[in-house]
Amino acid sequence: MIVGIDLGTTHSLVACWKDGAPHLIPNALGSVLTPSCISLDQDGTVLVGRAARERLQSHPDRSIAVFKRHMGGNKEFRLGSRSFRPEELSALVLRALKADAEAAMGQAVTEAVISVPAYFSDGQRKATRTAAQLAGLHVERLVNEPTAAALAYGLHQRGSESRFLVFDLGGGTFDVSILELFEGVMEVRATAGDNFLGGEDFSNEIVHWFLQASGLPDKARRDGHFMQHLAARAEALKCTLSTEPQAELAVHWQGRDYTATLSEDHYRRLCEPLLARLRLPLERALRDAGLRAGDVQEVVLAGGATRAPMIRNLVTRMFGRFPSAHFNPDEVVAMGAAVMAGMKARDESLREVVMTDVCPYSLGVEANRDLPSGEKAHGQFIPIIERNTVVPVSRVHGFAPERDGQQVLELRIFQGESRLARDNIEIGKLSVPLEGGPRGDGAVEVRFTYDVNGLLEVEVTRLKTQQVYRLVIRNNDTDLTEQQIEARFQALAELKVHPRDKLENRTLIAEAERIHEFLRGASRERMAAEIGEFEAVLAHQHERSIVSARERLRDAIEYFERAGVFEGGTEPS
Ligand code: AMP
């Protein structure tokens, strides 16, 4: 059984292909969304998902979120006494999803299709594969997220030639991809995006508005706990404004209530600068694909922030058609990954489509460029594969040493769009030994091959000797060797993971602890006692009393959550 996995920045999902359709698989708490968060308990037990997210505030030095953006880098993250690479953190999320899938299907799951952002570089894709390997999963295929969204909508089954645009606005990033289907081949024609524009920016507009409109004193802005609380309220208000014409935001700070009401219309005006920024990547993707807005036959929405009507209106106005929004935008990528998994398993109800993608960056080498004046420009970036070229692709370029007598030809490989090599990202280096003879004898042919999984292979052939040199690309030495992966696999396997069947109780305690942090005085005492009581009941392992104790703790959490009590505020009377 092959599963489809959306390994997301904020949430991850797992789905499978069954009875001719994709199915999402719920986690131990019954939700299909598992927060991509990890926390290490006091005794070294790993918590994944909602329980870990609850601990981000109460145990910040043992908990982590948003590590996807560090994939492919060599930063390590400390949780308690251990440190983890981003691949290992992702591996723990993948392992939890694997366990959920195994529990749901009653069989071992060892193969997966995993989605990655279309703009993910070679190093980031490799890191994703390593994460899967560390979780005991073989990656059948990495699929680009926009391609997965299109597959979920069955766009690969359209008969004729068609073009789609995938508009993906998540919590922190915006991605646009243009896909084309032609004679059963689906191809990503262009990708563009903004890594610093997402749903959070829309929530921030509400925070700024409220600080002005409510008359909250400036001092409140320096109260970190309060500002976190306000941000959560602003996000909730934002979601309400997706369905209601207006909504009220009320908070309590240092003994006083502050309220203000925001209409959808006013909110839209606040967001106009953000809406203008959304247009730029859309226009760039269309230009790169050589298309006009009217040439796009369908616009597919992905990412939670596309639920906002103002986003849907923008798309409708720009493309002259309503977007496809039949599926839940948080789930569409995982559903598409499951469709791909079905194809990989050669399910008869699915016609296999050939999927092609583009290489998201230009790839090339550093060399000197001959200028028309006869002079040489040094340190130039010479692209071999251009950005947005359809993959798989293989391109060759000839190079010769600079001078006679050279002993070695150094090839430095870069990705990026800048004119000078040093302004791009170096992704590898290859040395070709020469005998120090005349310049012409050292001439080489450099072949770049970029495959559908986004992996780059560099092959250099010395023309005189026909000797071939292949490059194992080391992304700034961030790749792990097979031995290192094996060692880390063992270390991760030895980590204790909180048992799935006890996760509900553990998550509830984590949530209660987060609220406890915000309380003072008698309220704090009461919450501490409630948590203590619950832990005592758990210790006795009496199922009936556990159920009622759980209800009691849940009521207490709800009570304090509703009251909106936080440090600096007063307790409810
Ligand atoms: P994702 O990363 O795809 O899960 O998207 C998360 C973003 O979607 C967050 O910024 C949420 O605030 C936003 N979001 C979720 N639901 C809604 C909604 N109903 N209206 C507006 N934004 C939403």
DSSP character for 480? P
Omega within 30 of 0 (cis) for the link into 372 = no
Do 89 and 66 lie in a common domain?
Answer: yes
Pocket test for ligand 1, best of 13, 307, 313, 332 (most atoms within 8 A of CB): 307
Do 288 and 334 lie in a common domain?
Answer: yes
- Say what the pLDDT of residue 376 is: 87
182-196, 363-377, 480-494: least confidently modelled range: 182-196
Residue 569: pLDDT above 80? no
More reliable by pLDDT, 497 or 195: 497
- Say what the pLDDT of residue 249 is: 95
Going by DSSP bridges, is the β-strand pair 63-65/298-302 parallel, antiparallel, or unpaired? unpaired
Task: Tell me, yes or no, whether 369 lies in a domain.
Answer: yes
Task: Tell me, yes or no, whether 459 lies in a domain.
Answer: yes
Residue 123: pLDDT above 90? no
DSSP 407-468: SEEEEEEEESS-SBGGGSEEEEEEEEE--S--GGGG-EEEEEEE-TT--EEEEEEETTT--E
Do 457 and 513 lie in a common domain?
Answer: no
**Share of residues in the chain with pLDDT > 70 (%):** 94
Q: What average pLDDT does the segment 329-350 reach?
A: 88
Ligand 1 centre to CA of 306 (Å) is 7
Residue 505: pLDDT above 70? yes
Task: Identify which of 338, 304, 345 has the alpha carbon closest to the alpha carbon of residue 14.
Answer: 338
Domain that holds residue 468: 361-492
Last residue of a domain, one of 328, 357, 386: 357
Ligand 1 centre to CA of 14 (Å) is 19
Tokens for 157, please give them: 């089954």
Whose alpha carbon is nearest atom 19 of ligand 1?
239
3-class secondary-structure state, position 99? helix
Q: Which atom of ligand 1 is nearest to the CA of 243?
A: 19
For CA atoms 57, 61, 64, 68, the dihedral sign is positive
Whose alpha carbon is nearest atom 18 of ligand 1?
239
- Say what the pLDDT of residue 156 is: 76
145 catalytic residue (yes or no): yes
Ligand 1 centre to CA of 239 (Å) is 7
235 catalytic residue (yes or no): no
> Residue length, the chain?
573
Do 11 and 44 lie in a common domain?
Answer: yes
- Say what the pLDDT of residue 572 is: 42
Can you give the CATH number for the domain in which 374 is found? 2.60.34.10
Ligand 1 centre to CA of 168 (Å) is 11
Do 482 and 538 lie in a common domain?
Answer: no
Pocket test for ligand 1, best of 169, 238, 301, 332 (most atoms within 8 A of CB): 238
Which residues, in sequence order, are bridge partners of residue 236?
none
Task: Tell me, yes or no, whether 228 lies in a domain.
Answer: no
Do 181 and 168 lie in a common domain?
Answer: yes
Three-point CA angle 542, 49, 481, nearest 5°: 125
Ligand 1 centre to CA of 529 (Å) is 35
Do 427 and 369 lie in a common domain?
Answer: yes
Task: Tell me, yes or no, whether 224 lies in a domain.
Answer: no
Pocket test for ligand 1, best of 242, 268, 306, 327 (most atoms within 8 A of CB): 242
Catalytic pick among 54, 68, 98, 357: 68
Tokens for 449, please give them: 């091959």
Residue 115 near residue 143 (C-beta atoms within 8 A): yes
Task: Identify which of 396, 496, 499 has the alpha carbon closest to the alpha carbon of residue 449.
Answer: 396
**Share of residues in the chain with pLDDT > 90 (%):** 58
Residue 456: pLDDT above 60? yes
Number of domains forming the structure of the chain: 3
Q: What average pLDDT does the segment 361-375 reach?
A: 88
Task: Tell me, yes or no, whether 321 lies in a domain.
Answer: yes
Last residue of a domain, one of 492, 522, 545: 492
CB atoms within 10 A of CB 373: 6
Residue 430 near residue 413 (C-beta atoms within 8 A): yes
| Alpha carbon distance 57, 373 (integer Å) | 62
Pocket test for ligand 1, best of 145, 330, 332, 333 (most atoms within 8 A of CB): 330
Residue 186: pLDDT above 80? no
Do 26 and 120 lie in a common domain?
Answer: yes
517 catalytic residue (yes or no): no
Ligand 1 centre to CA of 152 (Å) is 19
> Ligand 1 pocket by C-beta < 6 Å: which residues?
10-11, 170-171, 198-200, 235, 238-239, 242, 303-305, 307-308, 330
Can you give the CATH number for the domain in which 158 is found? 3.30.420.40
Do 484 and 513 lie in a common domain?
Answer: no
Catalytic pick among 88, 122, 140, 168: 168
pLDDT-derived band at 468 (thresholds 50, 70, 90) equals very high
Task: Tell me, yes or no, whether 17 lies in a domain.
Answer: yes
Q: What average pLDDT does the segment 126-132 reach?
A: 93
Catalytic pick among 145, 175, 180, 357: 145
- Say what the pLDDT of residue 484 is: 87
Task: Identify which of 361, 351, 453 has the alpha carbon closest to the alpha carbon of residue 114.
Answer: 453
Residue 247: pLDDT above 90? yes
Q: What is the pLDDT of residues 550-562, one digit of tens each?
A: 999 999 999 887 7
Q: What average pLDDT does the segment 416-428 reach?
A: 87
Q: Global pTM? A: 0.79
pLDDT-derived band at 478 (thresholds 50, 70, 90) equals low
DSSP 512-552: HHHHHHH--HHHHHHHHHHHHHHHHHHHHT-HHHHHHHHHH
- Say what the pLDDT of residue 348 is: 65
| Alpha carbon distance 171, 529 (integer Å) | 36
Last residue of a domain, one of 492, 526, 545: 492
Task: Tell me, yes or no, whether 230 lies in a domain.
Answer: no
Going by DSSP bridges, is the β-strand pair 376-385/2-7 parallel, antiparallel, or unpaired? unpaired
Ligand 1 centre to CA of 511 (Å) is 21
Q: Which atom of ligand 1 is nearest to the CA of 8?
A: 2
Residue 436: pLDDT above 80? yes
Residue 452: pLDDT above 80? no
Task: Tell me, yes or no, whether 236 lies in a domain.
Answer: no
Q: What is the pLDDT of residues 68-119, one digit of tens each?
A: 988 988 899 999 999 999 999 999 999 999 999 999 999 999 999 999 987 7
Do 315 and 369 lie in a common domain?
Answer: no
- Say what the pLDDT of residue 306 is: 96
479 catalytic residue (yes or no): no
Whose alpha carbon is nearest atom 3 of ligand 1?
303
Q: Which atom of ligand 1 is nearest to the CA of 330?
A: 3
Do 181 and 107 lie in a common domain?
Answer: yes
215-224, 240-249, 367-376: least confidently modelled range: 367-376
Per DSSP (E only), the strands in 359-416 are: 363-370, 376-385, 390-391, 393-399, 408-415
Ligand 1 centre to CA of 201 (Å) is 11
Do 57 and 131 lie in a common domain?
Answer: yes
Contacts of 372 (CB under 8 A, 6+ apart): none
**Mean pLDDT of the chain, nearest integer:** 89
Q: Which atom of ligand 1 is nearest to the CA of 200?
A: 10
